[in-house]
Amino acid sequence: MAYIPSMDLVPGVLKGDTRAVARLLSRAENGNEEGRPALEEIFKRAGRAHVVGITGVPGSGKSTLVAKLTAAIRASGRKVAIIAVDPSSPYSGGSILGDRIRMGELVGDKGVYVRSMATRGALGGLARGTLEAVDIVDAAGYDMVLIETVGVGQDEVDVARASHTTVVVSAPGLGDDIQAIKAGVLEIADIHVVSKCDKPDADRTISDLKNMLVLSLGLQPHVPAPLDVGARKAARWQVPVVPTSSVNDKGIEELLKEIDRHGRSLKESGEIVERQAAIAERRLVKASEEMLRDKLEERRGELSVLLKELAARRVSPHYAARKLLTESGFGGDK
């Protein structure tokens, strides 16, 4: 198959051509420099979709919940794209990519687009290219974008900085009644979901969540960093707890209603502006980190002398990093 220049894919993406979408997604994920102008053009055309991050510990049933939620979204007449971030080895880069199997029943629906992305060792629960993938499916006309992140616990705060609405999923019977609401995870949720609520110990998990929201958050709404105190006071959202069961479809419609209600709340309160600013800041930092990491990887073969100095403790890590940044053209002389 002949190679198609990335800029030539843009019109197809804007028309919703899934082949053009798939090809540009691959170039975003691979960090292809040839694709950069196309991705920048797509960024200018995106910004309409409601982006929902769905996170939680392994075994909480996120993928099954996402499949059921997607069916409910489609029943409302909206198109939905799923960016499923899979764990992968930081050494080999290999990924399970199992979400394509679990969500296979959705593939025949032309109003659903599913893409799995490997983390390849990236921290924070998001893969490289995730946010650009959101831009692509957004510009392609999907009304809602669901980002399902890997279950890495407290590191998944990245999803709150990439989404308009963050859903945290927990389940009863995983060995700790409050396993999904530890410090750093409780605070990122706009909506809490207790999945598998058909289990007998689900009521206790629901009660624990509600009590911790009252005690720890004082019923104050979640507003992601780096917003100021004024923005926090202006917000009015109170985090709900939604019991669900994918076995009997219980709570799925209620969850979609809460997601839509949160989307309306963001717009009516004006908080959507702060959310967008937080996402923009995170994207700037993320892009800078990736550029720096790529530059350092290019110089890996030249680091032997500096590493020997560091290993022998003749220089400090801070001094070595500053020297490396300076020699790589990133400054660092202060």
Longest dimension (CA), the chain: 65
pLDDT tens digits along 130-180: 889 999 999 999 999 999 886 655 456 777 778 999 998 888 876 554 554
Residue 324's CB is within 10 A of a number of other CB atoms, namely: 17
At 90-113, the pLDDT tens digits run: 444 444 445 555 566 676 889 999
- For 91, phi then psi, to 5°, come to -100, -55
* DSSP helix/strand/coil, 54: strand
Q: Determine the pLDDT at residue 14.
A: 97
Q: Assign residue 87 a region: left if phi > 0, alpha if psi is -120 to 50, beta otherwise?
A: beta
Residue 95's pLDDT is what? 43
pLDDT of residue 96: 45
Q: At a CB cut-off of 8 Å and minimum separation 6, what does 274 contact?
A: 223, 227, 231
The average confidence (pLDDT) of the chain is 81
Q: What is the pLDDT of residues 10-22, one digit of tens each?
A: 999 999 999 999 9
Residue 230 reports pLDDT greater than 50: no
pLDDT of residue 91: 42
Q: Mutual orientation of helices 18-30 and 6-14 as an angle, nearest 10°?
A: 130
Instruction: Give the pLDDT score at 8.
Output: 96
Return the pLDDT at 231.
46
Question: Which CATH code fits 46-269?
Answer: 3.40.50.300
Sorted by where each begins, the domain ranges of the chain are: 1-44, 46-269
Cα separation, 35 vs 13, in Å, equals 13
Tell me 223's DSSP state: -
* Preceding omega of 172 cis (within 30 degrees of 0): no
pLDDT reported for residue 47: 93
DSSP letters along 244-295, please? -BTTTTBTHHHHHHHHHHHHHHHHHHTHHHHHHHHHHHHHHHHHHHHHHHHH
Q: Is the pTM of this model over 0.85?
A: no
Q: Rounded to an integer, what is the distance from CA 81 to the centroid of its chain?
A: 13
Query: Which of the two residues, 45 and 248, has the higher pLDDT score?
Result: 45
